[in-house]
A and B are shown apart, each in its own frame.
Chain A
């Protein structure tokens, strides 16, 4: 292949329509590729028995990076979901931060090792902690947007979730309220066609989640999730609209799930080989790479350097997380509340455990300490 720096002469600059220059395009591509590499490493670690559970964002990265790129980092808010690795990384989390969550280390910024991997959140980057019961986070994002409006902060709040989650009642309650008050809120649906094993036709009676936006009187936009720039443009429009006080937008990105639902799922049980092969063609990563190559932005030299850089980052993140300490059992009673409650302090297991005097919890000397 003879990749070249010079652009196709008459063709407009790749990022022109989106208002993105070459450096930004390259940075976006780097993020898509980095998130993928981190994700792939997670699976290797899982199969090697290093980490017990993986839930993956592979196939969703293009939409996540494209959409998140249009937000203001450190100012706007995101309430993510379990596939939001690329989104969280675009918004400020590092590969180390993601790996710390996989290993559930004490220094894991998402939860200090308290939550399963995939429950990303990072207060430093306005990424809200997420739980497992799905779709609850949409109401948090709407509440964040409500506070932004009341306080006049010009912040926008975004939440993301799958098309399966989008059927939850909280989604209806959230969109209704956000639309009534024209809140600065963006709702990203990452539609990968499955909720674990259940295909979209069994989840929705309409082909597009976006069609539901009409019921709330808000725009509903369908975008190809493998088209990073289209995702960026859709988000930019929605975010500008939100910031201008014109209310929420529902963006539905059609993405693909390249892996099983999680490391505990065997997707060959409900998906054919042909289908999975076909889905690979809907992956944003190679498509974006080809676009950047054709535009002369991703030259062989740049690409080689990038590949090397990403490999180093992933290895560093893995080694770093691997070497970090587990949380101390003596800390497990902390942060139930903002402060301790002397009348309800340990022994945590009740009669027969710990000292006679309650309140010895800080020594970490309970029977569970030093166990597994």
Chain B
């Protein structure tokens, strides 16, 4: 089976969808000739031309707002926000408009739109090139939020997102773009939205994670295996809708749950997962539902010592697993 880096899988998937469906267009800053600052759209402009691969001005609200209109009038835009940190100027368009259009029009109008954005820290990006923004958007009914962790899932989930009739936020951890490689079949498979994956079976502790943290969780699980702790890792893949069945099913089996996320701990996405587990698996719990998450500072600091301090990593997750396993 061919292997691909995370970003190769994304790039090829966009190209494939554009070949398959001529209503798919790409728009964003530097997505044309340059192929995007991370090269996620490299080669698309040459293949599909400037009608379908549009270099926009530096106007994020416009990128999303015009994509909404284009989606209403028959296209399936893929909007690239250059960094998730810069999605905030488009917040109103995403939350007030894209998310609510179907509900407020009583299903008369939908918005088939995919918004891609690189997120995450550990890349010397400091406060404004490291943010995790999924909590803001997964809070909003009407949006779907996807965070893949493998090239296989990136392809399958991106296909599902582009073909979906509702707005999808597709967050790609930028540290994974070139560091993560994996098998990607050449078939037209999809990974349906709203389904988590058990990426490592185990019996004593469930670790729930997504994105880069799904890798770190696996690493941590491997480390504690030697100590005799059996960890099951659930990679959520889609944050909204949340695959409660897989999450609850796993916790019912292990009786212990650690939620891991890179974003600030307070009110982060993992808090919702923890609440769900507490409500729906209480009778099965042998310990508190716990979290390992980013510290509550307003951003990832730049200096490498400080950045390491901020980032959740396998060592920190390992400590969390040990503590929970001891309950």
Contact = CB atoms under 8 A, between A and B. Distances in A.
B61 A129 contact: no
B147 to A, nearest CB: 17
Nearest to A148: B73
Interface residues of B, number: 50
A173 interface: yes
B194 A343 contact: yes
Contact of A338 (B69, B72, B141, B166): B166
B102 A335 contact: yes
Interface stretch (A38-46, A114-122, A242-250, A254-262): A114-122
Contacts of A264: none
Contact of B66 (A114, A119, A122, A174): A174
B142 interface: yes
A128 B72 contact: yes
Interface string A128-172: 110111001011111111111011010101000000000001100
Among A131, A150, A341, A343, max chain B CB count under 10 A is at A343
B75 A150 contact: yes
Interface string B32-70: 000000000000000000011000110101101111111
A77 B109 CA distance: 13
Nearest to B105: A129
Nearest to A344: B241
Contacts of A123: 105, 108-109
Nearest to A350: B279
Contact of A112 (B71, B74, B106, B242): B106
Interface string B153-193: 00000000000111000000000000000000000000000
Interface stretch (B93-101, B300-308, B313-321): B93-101
A194 interface: no
A330 interface: no
Given A131-B97, A336-B102, A144 B73 contact: yes
A334 interface: yes
B102 A337 contact: yes
Nearest to B59: A173
Contacts of B220: none
A136 B93 contact: yes
Contacts of A151: 73-75
Contact of B73 (A147, A337, A350): A147
Interface in B127-171: 141-142, 144, 164-166
A343 B59 contact: no
A177 B166 CA distance: 24
Among B52, B73, B166, max chain A CB count under 10 A is at B73
Contacts of A173: 57, 59, 61-62, 65
A110 B104 CA distance: 8
A155 B142 CA distance: 28
Contacts of B96: 131-133, 136
B66 A155 contact: no
Interface in B83-138: 89, 92-93, 96-97, 100-110
Interface string A341-357: 10110000011000000
A135 B135 CA distance: 26
Contacts of A111: 104-106
A356 to B, nearest CB: 11
A121 B108 contact: yes
B66 A142 contact: yes
A170 B65 contact: yes
Interface in A283-334: 334
B107 A344 contact: no
A170 B62 contact: yes
A144 B104 contact: no
Given A335-B102, A343-B194, A139 B66 contact: yes
A113 to B, nearest CB: 8
A111 B109 CA distance: 10
Contacts of A108: 106
A180 interface: yes
A143 B73 contact: yes
A145 B66 CA distance: 9
A343 B241 contact: yes
Contacts of A343: 194, 241-245
Nearest to B106: A112
Contacts of A59: none
A11 B242 CA distance: 72
A144 B243 CA distance: 34
A59 B165 CA distance: 39
Contacts of B243: 343
Nearest to B246: A343
Contacts of A114: 103-104, 106
A129 B244 CA distance: 33
Given A148-B73, A173-B62, A336 B105 contact: no
B311 interface: no
A267 interface: no
B103 A336 contact: yes
A286 B96 CA distance: 39
A200 B142 CA distance: 37
A200 to B, nearest CB: 24
A176 interface: yes
13 contacts: A111-B106, A143-B66, A147-B69, A147-B73, A150-B51, A177-B56, A335-B102, A335-B106, A335-B107, A336-B103, A337-B144, A341-B194, A344-B244
Per CB-CB distance, the 10 closest pairs between chain A and chain B, nearest first, are A143-B69, A139-B65, A112-B106, A143-B66, A147-B73, A173-B62, A123-B108, A140-B69, A129-B105, A173-B59
Interface of A: 77, 79, 108-112, 114-115, 119, 121-123, 128-129, 131-133, 136, 138-148, 150-151, 153, 155, 157, 169-170, 173-174, 176-177, 180, 334-338, 341, 343-344, 350-351
Given A170-B93, A343-B194, A343-B243, 13 more contacts: A109-B108, A123-B108, A128-B69, A131-B100, A131-B104, A133-B92, A133-B96, A141-B69, A142-B62, A143-B72, A147-B72, A155-B73, A338-B165
